Amino acid sequence: MADDLRLVDVRSEHLDDVLRVRSRSFGLLDAGSREGWVADAEVFIADGRMVGVADGDELVAAARFWPFQQWWGGRKVAMSGVAGVVVAPEYRGRGVGSKLMRGVLARSVEQGYPLSGLYPATTVIYRHLGYEFGGGRYRYTFPAAELRSLGGKEVEVRRAGAADAGRFLEVVEQLHAAGRISGPLVWPEAKVAEWLGEDNSFCYLAEDGFVVYGWASGRLRVEELVAGSEATARALWSVVGSGSSIATDVDAYMSPDDPAHLLVAKEAGKHAEIERWMLRVLDAPAAIAARGFAPGASLEVDLELDDSELATNTGRWHLSVSNGSGSLTPSTATRDSLRLGSRALSALYAGTPLASLRKAGLAWGSADADGAIETAFGGATPYMLDYF
């Protein structure tokens, strides 16, 4: 039977099979959710972003990927966001998942994505294919009364909605670029407008910031808050905290480096929730060219990359970084150089210190430029606000 396993493009006629496998992985969908799932799946199918593994005429595994952009060092990089990875129970442990993910990697490369990201149900298969942890989705809890007392009354804040989606994206663009932010996803304006228009989205906009929050399980939850100044940050958090007569606590998705941690007198709840996500460099030269780097970093160093899944990344390269930009070009140098596998390259791209990679046995070779490399790739902690 294994000889009959083959990669296929998922088609509309496969969706009953995919739903059957999905129900054995994540549970049954209700009628309303099923209708929305099918509608989304048709978009993935039309764009060639849904891949499966078939045994004969039956689809036994499937995955899809989102056409994301992701902020890295204050610049947007195209990223294939892998989701909905499902394998029929009777086919697990037989290499079907690896076959499926190799198909996803190949298709992502074909469509021009230099990066791939995902939230792993298990790390073993993804690490084997070159993924490594890139950051987290962090949720903190603050006392609502503390937020209410932050002030910022001098800042003009108005209620916002779907018509403000373009302005929300402009604010994000300005602040993430200036702050050299890494990790958050970029969504199309139409999708942002859809979210802002939802009944449970409470949206407020200032000149240099905004907040989107709502009720979740009887608690207030901040989905996103960005602010370009202390006064605006105080004003927007105070808006959220104004619900303190009803909500004792406020949950917030945010960066671990967010200034709110410094503004609030009492620390956030000690038990922050973290969902870790993984990153994979698919096209090393394109990924380096698209990323932002530390503005003061200057670097000229040779690397030797070994990528067992994507041969175009394997070989000797010269990494050049200056003025916040980088390039990776083929090198003919023969001297000892820093050597990285695909997991290490992905982790380094996300800012993991080389010292950690060396101690894990993932990086070896010349250490002469380790400090300069860490400076170039370093910055704020990578984070996401969205789960996909």
Question: Would you put residue 291 in left (φ > 0), alpha (ψ -120 to 50) or beta?
Answer: beta
The pLDDT tens digits of the residues spanning 334-354 come to 899 999 999 999 999 999 999
Residue 178 tokens read as: 């200036």
Q: In the chain, what are the domains?
A: 2-130 (3.40.630.30), 138-275 (3.40.630.30), 283-377 (3.30.1050.10)
Q: What is the pLDDT of residue 218?
A: 87
Q: What is the pLDDT of residue 289?
A: 98
Spans of the chain, pLDDT less than 50 = 1
Q: Is the dihedral of CA 269, 275, 281, 282 positive or negative?
A: negative
Q: What is the pLDDT of residue 367?
A: 96
Residue 263 tokens read as: 């503004």
Q: What is the pLDDT of residue 271?
A: 77
Q: What is the pLDDT of residue 268?
A: 72
The residue among 81, 107, 66 whose CA lies nearest residue 279 is 81
CA distance 277 to 267: 25
Q: What is the pLDDT of residue 1?
A: 47
At 279, the amino acid letter reads L
